[in-house]
Structure 1
Amino acid sequence: MRILVINPGSTSTKIAVYEDEKPILLHSITHSADELAVYDAITEQQDFRRNLVIKELHRANIPVKFDAVIGRGGLVKPIAGGVYEINEQMLNDTLHGCVMHNHACNLGCLIAHEIAITIPNCRAFIADPGVVDELSPLARISGSPLMPRICIWHALNQRAIARRYAREIGKRYEDLNLIICHLGGGISVAAHEHGKAIDTNNALDGEGPFSPERAGSLPAADLIRLCFSGKYTEKQLLKRIAGKAGLTAHLGTNNMKEIQERIKNGDKQAQLITDAMIYHTAKQIAAEGAVLCGNVDAILLTGGMAHSDYITNELRRRIGYLAPVYCFPGENEMEALALNALSVLKGTSKAQIYQ
C-alpha cells in the first residue's frame, strides 16, 4: 500500500510517502514569511501549498498514485480518537462551521481530499486531530456554566507515543495509565486512562502551563480588565494568548537553542523565565497524577523541547516521585498518520464517520 502523508504547520508543510510501514520520502517544505503574507486567512493557502506538495513529488520522481492520502486533522467538532474518512461535512466544518482559529492544521484534510479525488480508488483520511475529546464528565466542568472546559491538544503525537511505549514494554496502551506531556510550541499534558485521555488542557486557547508561544492559564479578572482597557484590539489580545505569548512575549524569541545559549552566557532573565515554564509544566503533570488517583504507570515526555537535557532533567527532578519518567524527543506524527491509514487499508481497524 502506498500512502501520502501531509502535515501542514505554521511555516512549513511536511510530506511523506510510505510503502506499507516503510518511508520512501520524508521532506519538509519551508514557507517564508513573505510567501505567506499575501494570504489573509490560512485556508487561502490551500492551492499554494497543494501545488508545492505535487511539485515535490515530481521532483522526487514519485508518481501521484496512492492508495490513500492522510492529512493532519484540523479544528473541527470535538470527536473521539481514531481514523476518519474525509467527507463533505468535515470539509464544510473546516471551511465554515467549526474553525475556531486560523490554524495551519485546518489545511490537512482540505489538501488530502483535493489530491485524493484526482486519483482513482484513492481514499482520504485524517487521524487523531487536536480536537479529540475523551474528557471525563468531571473534567468538562469549569467554575462558570458559560464556559465549559474543552481540550485542544497534541492528540496525534501523544497517542502515537503511548502506543510506542506500550509496544516497547510488551503491553497494550489500553492496559496502562500514563501521563504524557508534549513539549512543543504549545504544551499539552494529558492523563491517559486505559487508552483514553480523560483529562487534558486546552494547549492552544489559554490553559495549562505557558510555553514558547502560548500564555497558558492567566489571572481571569486581570485578563477581563485588559480586554476593556482600550489598549488592544481583540485580534491583538488573541495573539497575546497564542502566538506572541509565553517565552516569545518574555524573551522575544521562541527558539529554545537561542534561549539556552543566552542562559549559558549568563542571561538571568532567560534562566528565570525558562525555569518558570518548567515549574508550571511540572505542576500540571502533578495535577494529572491526581486525576489518576496516583495510579500512574509512567510519565512520557515528548515534543521538540524533550531534546533538551536541561528541561527534561528538571522536570524529572520535580515529578519523578509520581512514576518512572521516559523521554521520546521530537514528534512521531508522520509515521503515526501513515500507520493509521495503513491499518484501515489493511482492515485491521475501521475508519469512523464524521458527523
Structure 2
Amino acid sequence: MSAPVLVINSGSSSIKYQLVDGDTQEASISGLIERIGQSESVITHKTADGKQTWNGQLPDHAAGLEAMVTAFDEFGTPLSHAGLIAVAHRVVHGGDRFVQPVVVDDEVETAIDELAALAPLHNPANLAGIRVARKLFPKLPQVAVFDTAFHATMPERAHVYAVPAEWREQHGVRRYGFHGTSHAYVSRKAAELLGRHPKEVNVIVAHLGNGASVTAVERGRSIDTSMGLTPLEGLVMGTRSGDIDPAIVFHMHRRTGASFEDLDDALNKRSGMLALAGMIDMRSIEEAASDGEQAAEDALEIYCYRIRKYIGAYIAALGGADAIAFTAGVGENSPEVRAKSLESLVALGVRLDEAANQAGGPVISTSDSPITAMVVSTNEEGEIALQTAALLRS
C-alpha cells in the first residue's frame, strides 16, 4: 500500500472498519464490531486468509476500537506496522460548514458535536469514534469526511426550502443530502464505464439500500438529491417514510395525542417498507410478491414508482442524462427493482436489456439506448480513503 488509511464508520452500537489504500481505493482488511454496550458483543475480522469471528464484552467505543487493534495484531498486519498515513472517519452531517474533508482538532470536534442537532442518530456516534481514535492514535492525523459534503454544490433552487427566513438563517433549515461519498464514487465510475471524463457527463445515481437516495450529478457536481435536512426525505426506504405531506405530523398529533418524539420515531423507524410489507429485506419482499402476497406486491410497486419519479425529474433537471447508475445493496442485487424503476422511461431515452439486467450488468441497457443504464458497486470506504489521501497531500 502506498497510502494506507484506516477508515472507521462508528455507529451507535457498532464500528465498521477497513484498511484501505488511498491511491487504489482497495481494502486489504476489514471488520465489523457489533452490539457495543450490550451483554455480548460480536467481532468479525476479515483478511486475505479468511474470516475470524468471536464474542466479547465491549462496554463502549473505546473497548470496541481496542478490540479492533487486537484483531489487527492477531490476524494479518498489526496497525503499528501498516504505515498508516491517517485514520479517516465517516461523519454523516457537516451542515453548511464542512463542504470538504477536514483534519480533526478540538474546534472541529466541537462543531461536529453542535451539528448533532441536525443528525441526532448519527453525529454523536461518529464523534464517539473520533474521540477514542484521537487518544488511541495520537500521532496520526484524524480526518473527517462528511456524507453531506458532495451535495454542497447544489444551487439555491435545489437546496432552499420555502420556509420562514428565520428558520433558514438561524436554524440551518435547508436541504443537505446524504450518501455523498457513494454518489461521488459511483458517478465517477459511471463516467469511466462510458469511457469519458466525469466533467463531460451527466449521471443519475440511485443508491438503494435500507437507506436510499437519488442524486443528479451534472459534470461531476451534485445539483440535486432526494434527501433533505435529514435522511428522511425522498424515496421510500426500509423503515423511513420518504416524502410525505408535512401536515401529516400535526394531523396525527391532533388525532392521537402522540408526542413529536413518537411521531419522529414512527416516520424514521416504523414506516417505509416495514409499514407497507411488514418486512424490510428486499429479497423477502420480492419472494412474497412472487407468491402473490398483495401487501408485498403493492409495497414493491410503490417503492419503484418513487424511484422512477425521481429519475424522471432528474433527467429534466439535468436537461438530459448520459447514464443512470444503480448501486448499494438493493441497487446492485435486485434485477426486479432495477427493471420496475426504469419502466415507462423509454420515452425519456432508457431502453432496458432484460438479459443484461438479469446478469447484473455492468451495462443493463441496449446498445442503442440514448441513456446508458448500469450497475456500479459502491465503495464508500475507498472514497473516504481517496479523499483523505488527497487532503493530506494538498
TM-score by length of 2: 0.77
Matches within 5 A, 1:5-24: 5-9=7-11, 12-19=14-21, 21=24, 22-24=26-28
Partner of 1:47: 62
Contact 1:151 1:201 in 2 (8 A): no
Partner of 2:304: 278
1:67 aligns with 2:113: no
1:124 aligns with 2:142: yes
Question: How far does the alpha carbon of each residue in 1:193-221 deviate from its partner, in whole angstroms, 9 at most, with x for none?
Answer: 12221111226443222111211111233
2-structure distance, mates of 1:33, 1:309: 38
Contact 1:12 1:28 in 2 (8 A): yes
Partner of 1:114: 132
Following superposition, the deviation at residue 168 of structure 1 comes to: 3.1
Partner of 1:353: none
Letter in 2 for 1:176: V
Question: How far does the alpha carbon of each residue in 1:311-336 deviate from its partner, in whole angstroms, 9 at most, with x for none?
Answer: 0111122335342211124x311211
Partner of 2:5: 3
Letter in 2 for 1:344: L
Contact 1:263 1:271 in 2 (8 A): yes
Partner of 2:220: 195
SS state at 2:192 partner: helix
Letter in 1 for 2:189: R
Partner of 1:326: 374
1:29 aligns with 2:55: no
1-structure distance, mates of 2:158, 2:312: 16
Contact 2:226 2:234 in 1 (8 A): yes
Letter in 1 for 2:385: A
Question: How far does the alpha carbon of each residue in 1:221-242 deviate from its partner, in whole angstroms, 9 at most, with x for none?
Answer: 3332113334322221111221
Partner of 1:208: 234
Letter in 2 for 1:75: H
2-structure distance, mates of 1:337, 1:34: 29
Partner of 2:44: none
TM-score by length of 1: 0.84
Alignment match of 1:234 (pick from 254, 260, 274): 260
Contact 2:12 2:125 in 1 (8 A): no
Alignment match of 2:288 (pick from 251, 254, 262): 262
2-structure distance, mates of 1:10, 1:281: 29
SS state at 2:216 partner: strand
2-structure distance, mates of 1:133, 1:35: 41
Contact 1:141 1:149 in 2 (8 A): yes
Matches within 5 A, 1:58-97: 58-65=73-80, 66-79=84-97, 81-97=99-115
Number of residue pairs matched? 339
Identity of aligned residues (%): 19
Partner of 1:141: 160
Letter in 2 for 1:337: I
Letter in 1 for 2:18: A
Structure 2 portions without partners, runs of 5+? 42-58, 350-370
Partner of 2:316: 290
Change (3 A) 1:158 1:45: farther
CA root-mean-square deviation: 2.8
Letter in 1 for 2:327: T
Moved more, 178-187 or 320-329: 320-329
1:100 aligns with 2:136: no
1-structure distance, mates of 2:262, 2:37: 19
Contact 1:10 1:104 in 2 (8 A): yes
Contact 1:4 1:18 in 2 (8 A): yes
2-structure distance, mates of 1:206, 1:134: 21
Partner of 1:181: 206
Change (3 A) 1:19 1:217: closer
Structure 1 portions without partners, runs of 5+? 38-43, 351-355
SS state at 2:196 partner: coil
2-structure distance, mates of 1:62, 1:106: 30
Mark the structure with the bigger radius of gyration.
2
- Higher RCO, 1 or 2 (CA under 8 Å, sep at least 6)? 1
Following superposition, the deviation at residue 340 of structure 1 comes to: 2.0
Alignment match of 2:383 (pick from 322, 330, 336): 336
Partner of 2:54: none
Contact 1:6 1:16 in 2 (8 A): yes
2-structure distance, mates of 1:12, 1:103: 13
